[in-house]
Structure 1
Amino acid sequence: MNESRQNTGRGRPRILSEKEIESWQDTYGEDIQIVDYKKPNVDDFINVLDYKFLRVVDKWEEPNGLIVDEDMYKMYQEKEFKSFREWKESLKRQFTNLTVVSESEQDMVMKSATDKHYKIELLYDVNATNGLGQSIYKKVSFFVEEDVFDNYKIILVHDK
């Protein structure tokens, strides 16, 4: 999306119109072809033959936030910080616009009281091929999330 429509991280996200959602589908709908569909008991990649956008199932707002856990610390921050606790404390100082909503020895969740983003569930008819070459018809929900730059990305795919 263009620069003039970027979410600057202040206040509420803009309301998405059906036209904007259709525009998202027109722009990013091709991404559906590269999603790995898996069916129970079939380990092979399933090729997408055709798909059709049906409707917007749901739209909702969620607070912006940050979720960290001890595994993330070990993978990315262990060299820089002496402990997971020390890293969490540095995040609290760094993200003053976020409030800690839960914290344990293993993880921490921080959320914004004011900044929010949209998540959207889109329903598609999908015609795919399973690992045996058989054509399969499915209804598939794509969960799409708005990022801080007003772009939308697929975050979850769920077969109906």
Structure 2
Amino acid sequence: MTILIPQVKLRSRQISLLYNERRFDELTNLYTQNAQLILPHAPIMDGSLRIYNSFATLLESGADRYTTETSDVKVFDDYALESGNFMVHDQNSKIVDLGTYQILWKNINGSLFIVRDMATSISMKLTGNRFTQDESNFINTFSEMAYSDMVSTSLKDFKNKNRE
């Protein structure tokens, strides 16, 4: 079965809806069993349980509402690569993170499932219409807060492996 671009866009909107309604079981079911979720400032999450826990952690860290906007879809064989922009709001509707994403979808028996979901955070404030390189203007994004311990542990593990 050929993947149609409107199918991908519809399925993508479902991601935001399910997250915003806290329906993490259904959201996790959009991912294949060996899917990878790659979020900014975080280790790669693979498998249903780790992906589910990632959504719960993001919510706990202040990511109350998540929206996406598809900018491009490329279809090849039983796969589609979707690219777009995302925005995350806290409970007060303040933007706590924004950036770009790519989702690799796979057609399995006529339904689309996520094989890999990757996001890149834009964690710098704009000055006028340009990004600044001034460190004082970096935003402490929700993903940085949510995964700071995991990143710290990953770095320690990496350093220990390189010492051996």
TM-score tier (shorter): 0.3 to 0.5
Which is bigger in relative contact order (C-alpha 8 A, separation at least 6)? Answer: 1
| Greater C-alpha Rg | 1
Structure with more of its chain in strand, by fraction: 1
The alignment's TM-score, normalised by the length of structure 1, stands at 0.41
The alignment's TM-score, normalised by the length of structure 2, stands at 0.40
